[in-house]
């Protein structure tokens, strides 16, 4: 059923084609797909590699995805820190010699940051800083313009409009989150370094690491002690993830359960509107709990 719905929307993994000469384009996850779809509006529709609701950290290459990759002219993806499974597939080559993959983590000016709570390694959830999404939009348009000169003007004007929309979105979310800024928050997985840096939030603890790996008993005990010491903070579960971990961390403390966050857009309908919905959803959920609402 889900596959049929995706096919009807033209969003299944096979890269959709527009008019003759328009490149077949794939994006790795919903947020990237949303930005690419915005840039391609009026020209073509990108395909989405990740299954609806799937966890990018556990990206698995299925035969149909492998065929879609081999048939694609262009692939936009975040990079190996987010989807090691896709990195492996792209490095493996196989069919599709004409394929070109653009790792958006390497776009000039994109800021790398460590995870906000645990601090070790890198936080691959780069799209949660609107400044990165803005840079990506312009880089996506430049790449598409090189691959498809006939539509270069359209890609450029779409990207310029999208950059303005992202600026307006960032200003709106800054206002939404202003009352929450001083209150530490606790999150399920350590995915909010870029969001916190962009909007002045403090992530005091994360139940799981940035790659979503299951926590060990020692880390859970440490997180619980930290939450108990923080007082009446909000602990945010995530869409599609078991709430028992968040509940276990809260038990016997003054913390409360916030609304579930969806940093990867797992529950949102793919398309150009997904990115602003994803960002607005995070801001409103955090403001509703941590802002004293």
Dump the DSSP string for 234-284. EEE-BTTS-SHHHHHHHTTSS-EE-PPB-TT-TTSPPSTTHHHHHHHHHHH
Stretch that binds Zn ion, among 73-81, 84-92, 141-149, 185-193 (CB under 5 A): 185-193
Q: How many helices (H) and strands (E) does the chain have?
A: 10, 8
d(CA 249, CA 255): 9
Binding to Zn ion, residues 247-286 (CB under 5 A): none
Both tokens of residue 177?
């989150």
Nearer to Zn ion, 40 or 210 (CB): 210
Residue whose tokens read 């290459």 = 61
Nearer to Zn ion, 145 or 261 (CB): 261
Stretch that binds Zn ion, among 40-48, 113-121, 186-194, 265-273 (CB under 5 A): 186-194
Is residue 187 a contact point for Zn ion (CB under 5 A)?
A: no
Is residue 191 a contact point for Zn ion (CB under 5 A)?
A: yes
Nearer to Zn ion, 51 or 172 (CB): 51
The partner residues of 28 in beta bridges, in order of sequence, read none
Is residue 118 a contact point for Zn ion (CB under 5 A)?
A: no
Secondary structure class of 145 (helix, strand, coil): helix
Query: Rounded to the nearest whole angstrom, what is the least distance from the CB of residue 254 to Zn ion in the complex?
Result: 28
Query: Rounded to the nearest whole angstrom, what is the least distance from the CB of residue 130 to Zn ion in the complex?
Result: 18
Query: Rounded to the nearest whole angstrom, what is the least distance from the CB of residue 212 to Zn ion in the complex?
Result: 5
Query: Rounded to the nearest whole angstrom, what is the least distance from the CB of residue 111 to Zn ion in the complex?
Result: 17
Query: Rounded to the nearest whole angstrom, what is the least distance from the CB of residue 286 to Zn ion in the complex?
Result: 16
Query: Rounded to the nearest whole angstrom, what is the least distance from the CB of residue 189 to Zn ion in the complex?
Result: 5
Nearer to Zn ion, 40 or 82 (CB): 82
Nearer to Zn ion, 24 or 57 (CB): 57
Nearer to Zn ion, 48 or 191 (CB): 191
Both tokens of residue 183?
């209150």
* Residues near 5 by beta carbon (within 8 Å), at least 6 away in sequence: none
Stretch that binds Zn ion, among 1-9, 97-105, 155-163, 183-191 (CB under 5 A): 183-191
Which residue number has the CB closest to Zn ion? 191
Strand ranges for the chain from DSSP E: 25-27, 47-48, 74-77, 100-103, 185-189, 203-208, 234-236, 256-257
Both tokens of residue 54?
């799937």
Nearer to Zn ion, 144 or 191 (CB): 191
Secondary structure class of 253 (helix, strand, coil): coil
Nearer to Zn ion, 39 or 207 (CB): 207
Query: Rounded to the nearest whole angstrom, what is the least distance from the CB of residue 284 to Zn ion in the complex?
Result: 20
Residue count at the site for Zn ion (CB under 5 A)? 1
d(CA 173, CA 280): 7
Binding site for Zn ion (CB under 5 A): 191
């Amino acid at each position: 059923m889900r596959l049929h719905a995706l096919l009807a929307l033209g969003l299944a993994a096979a890269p959709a084609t527009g008019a003759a000469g328009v490149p077949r384009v794939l994006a790795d996850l919903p947020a990237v797909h949303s930005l690419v779809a915005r840039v391609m509006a009026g020209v073509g529709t990108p395909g989405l590699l990740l299954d609806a609701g799937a966890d990018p950290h556990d990206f698995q290459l299925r035969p149909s995805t492998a065929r879609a990759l081999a048939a694609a002219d262009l692939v936009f993806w975040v990079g190996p820190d987010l989807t090691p499974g896709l990195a492996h597939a792209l490095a493996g080559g196989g069919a599709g010699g004409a394929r070109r993959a653009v790792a958006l983590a390497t776009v000039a000016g994109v800021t790398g940051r460590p995870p906000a709570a645990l601090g070790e390694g890198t936080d691959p959830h780069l799209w949660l800083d609107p400044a990165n999404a803005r840079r990506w939009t312009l880089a996506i348009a430049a790449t598409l313009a090189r691959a498809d000169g006939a539509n270069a003007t359209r890609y450029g004007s779409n990207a310029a409009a999208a950059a303005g929309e992202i600026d307006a979105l960032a200003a709106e979310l800054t206002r939404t989150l202003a009352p929450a800024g001083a209150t530490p928050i606790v999150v399920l997985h350590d995915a909010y370094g870029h969001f916190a840096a962009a909007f002045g939030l403090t992530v005091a603890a994360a139940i799981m690491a940035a790659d979503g790996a299951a926590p060990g008993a020692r880390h859970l005990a440490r997180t619980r002690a930290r939450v108990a010491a923080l007082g009446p903070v909000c602990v945010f579960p995530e869409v599609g993830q078991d709430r028992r971990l968040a509940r276990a961390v809260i038990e016997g403390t003054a913390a409360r359960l916030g609304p579930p966050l969806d940093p990867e857009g797992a529950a949102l309908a793919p398309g150009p509107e997904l990115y602003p919905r994803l960002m607005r959803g995070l801001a409103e959920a955090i403001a509703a709990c941590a802002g004293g609402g």
